Amino acid sequence: MFNVLVVEDEKNLQKLMSAVLKQNGYHVLCAKDGMEALQILDTSHVDLIISDIMMPNMDGYTLTDALRKSDYNLPILMVTAKETLEDKKKGFLVGTDDYMVKPIDMDEMILRVAALLRRSRIINEHRLTVGEVELNYDTLTVTKGKDSILLPKKEFMLLFKLLSYPKQIFTRQQLMDEIWGMEAETDERTVDVHVKRLREKFGHFTEFEIVTVRGLGYKVEKKI
């Protein structure tokens, strides 16, 4: 279970965000400002932070800047009451990963949290093992025994993503948004092409299989 720290001084919003996150399977910690957040981080493991900007004692910018200078690389989703270029620029300069504007759409918040955690997992783990098969993110290789296959980056990220969440169904659009980016000018057929190439390369592997879920997308089934 992922631990999410909600840093928000508005009590009703803090309670709502906490309740929605818990309903979606996250363990939630809460702080009313940046100072309290730092105290929690000293004693608890946190996978992701959702932080308001305007707070007493220590605001979201100062909190984010302090964490990055202390080598905390966990994802930070910043919440702001106004969407201006200067706000975003300042936030990204101090090290935030994503932005949401109040009033917060809770469904969108859950999607953004999930996307940030998936990206963080790929970046931080670097390796994924399935039986005798090892995926190495640093070298973009898939190794089994003495054989090693170097993959193009998009193919590797697609395989890594599917194998990270066995049996979970991903729509083509989800895969496009996560791996190619929301602004990509390619269409969903690109995912089909990459899946076809992966099947050609790993169809003989006994450890896993990429399965087409009719009308939805793809998932991986582990065979071990």
Decide if 28 contacts 19 (C-beta within 8 A): no
Closest C-alpha among 53, 45, 109, 98 to residue 72: 45
pLDDT of residue 19: 96
C-alpha to C-alpha distance for 164 and 104, rounded to whole angstroms: 29
What are the structural domains, with CATH classification, of the chain?
A: 3-121 (3.40.50.2300), 126-222 (1.10.10.10)
pLDDT of residue 182: 59
What does the pLDDT look like over 63-97, one tens digit per residue? 999 999 888 889 999 998 877 778 778 888 888 98
What does the pLDDT look like over 95-142, one tens digit per residue? 898 989 889 999 999 999 988 887 776 566 677 888 899 998 888 999
Residue 1: is its pLDDT beyond 70? no
Q: How confident is the model at residue 188 (pLDDT cuts 50, 70, 90)?
A: confident
Q: If 0-12 CB within 10 Å is exposed, 13-18 middle and 19+ buried, where does residue 162 land?
A: buried
Within the chain, how many helices (H) and strands (E) appear? Answer: 8, 12
pLDDT of residue 113: 93
Residue 183: is its pLDDT beyond 70? no
Distances (CA, A) of 120 to 10, 14, 114, 117, 218: 28, 24, 10, 5, 21
Strands 3-7 and 48-52, bridge-based pairing: parallel
- Mean local confidence (pLDDT), 199-224: 91
What does the pLDDT look like over 32-72, one tens digit per residue? 999 999 999 988 889 999 999 999 999 999 999 999 988 88
Paired strand residues for 101: 80
